[in-house]
Amino acid sequence: SKAQGWSALFTEPMSDLVKRYTSSVFFDQRLWQADIAGSRAHAQMLHSVGILSAQDEADIQHGLSQITQEIEAGQFEWKLDLEDVHLNIEARLTQLIGDAGKRLHTGRSRNDQVATDVRLWLRGEIDGIIGLLRQVQTALVDVAEQNVEVILPGFTHLQVAQPVSFAHHLLAYVEMFGRDVQRMQDVRRRTNVLPLGSAALAGTSYPLDRAQVARILGMVDAQGEPQICQNSLDAVSDRDFAIEFAAAAALVMVHVSRLSEELIVWMSQNFAFIRIADRFTTGSSIMPQKKNPDVPELARGKSGRVIGHLMGLITLMKGQPLAYNKDNQEDKEPLFDTVDTLRDTLRIFAEMIGGQPNAQTGQKEGGITVHAEAMQQAALRGYATATDLADYLVKKGLPFRDAHETVAHAVRIAIEQGVDLSELALADLQKFNPAIEADVFEVLSLHGSLHARNTLGGTAPAQVRAQIARHRAALA
Ligand code: ARG
Per-residue pLDDT of the chain (476 residues; tens, 9 = 90+): 444 568 889 999 999 999 999 999 999 999 999 999 999 999 999 999 999 999 999 999 999 999 999 999 999 999 999 999 999 999 999 999 999 999 999 999 999 999 999 999 999 999 999 999 999 999 999 999 999 999 999 999 999 999 999 999 999 999 999 999 999 999 999 999 999 999 999 999 999 999 999 999 999 999 999 999 999 999 999 999 999 999 999 999 999 999 999 999 999 999 999 999 999 998 888 888 888 999 999 999 999 999 999 999 999 999 999 999 999 999 999 999 999 999 999 999 999 999 999 999 988 889 999 999 999 999 998 899 999 999 999 999 999 999 999 999 999 999 999 999 999 999 999 999 999 999 999 999 999 999 999 999 999 999 999 999 999 999 99
**Catalytic option among 1, 157, 205, 285:** 157
Identify the residue whose C-alpha is closest to ligand 1 atom 11: 326
The pocket around ligand 1, CB under 6 angstroms, is made up of 24, 28, 84, 110-111, 114, 324, 326, 328-329
- Is the ipTM value over 0.95, yes or no? yes
Among 113, 118, 122, 329, say which to mutate for ligand 1: greatest number of ligand atoms within 8 Å of CB.
329
**Given the CA of residue 83, which atom of ligand 1 is nearest to it?**
1
Tell me if the bond preceding 438 is cis, omega within 30° of 0: no
Among 89, 90, 111, say which to mutate for ligand 1: greatest number of ligand atoms within 8 Å of CB.
111
What is the Å distance from ligand 1's center to 103 Cα? 19
Q: What are phi and psi of 332, to 5 degrees?
A: -75, -50
Catalytic-residue membership of 42:
no
CATH of 372-475, one of 1.10.3720.10, 3.40.640.10, 2.60.40.10, 1.10.40.30: 1.10.40.30
Give the class (CATH, top level) of 112-146+164-205+213-365: mainly alpha
Residues of the chain with CATH 1.10.40.30: 372-475
Three-class SS string for the chain?
CHHHCCCCCCCCCCCHHHHHHHCCHHHHHHHHHHHHHHHHHHHHHHHHCCCCCHHHHHHHHHHHHHHHHHHHCCCCCCCHHHCCHHHHHHHHHHHHHCHHHHHCCCCCCHHHHHHHHHHHHHHHHHHHHHHHHHHHHHHHHHHHHHCCCCEEEEEECCEEEEEEEHHHHHHHHHHHHHHHHHHHHHHHHHHCCECCCCHHHCCCCCCCCHHHHHHHCCCECCCCCECECCCHHHHHHCCHHHHHHHHHHHHHHHHHHHHHHHHHHHHCCCCCCEECCHHHCECCCCCCCCCECHHHHHHHHHHHHHHHHHHHHHHHHHCCCCCCCHHHHHHHHHHHHHHHHHHHHHHHHHHHHHCEECCCCCCEECCCEECHHHHHHHHHCCCCCHHHHHHHHHHCCCCHHHHHHHHHHHHHHHHHHCCCHHHCCHHHHHHHCCCCCCCHHHHHCHHHHHHHCCCCCCCCHHHHHHHHHHHHHHHC
Identify the residue whose C-alpha is closest to ligand 1 atom 12: 329
Residues of the chain with CATH 1.10.275.10: 2-106
Catalytic-residue membership of 157:
yes
What is the Å distance from ligand 1's center to 84 Cα? 8
Residue 204 backbone class (left: φ over 0; alpha: ψ -120 to 50; beta: rest) = beta
The CATH homologous superfamily to which domain 2-106 belongs is Fumarase/aspartase (N-terminal domain) (1.10.275.10)
Residues of the chain with CATH 1.20.200.10: 112-146+164-205+213-365
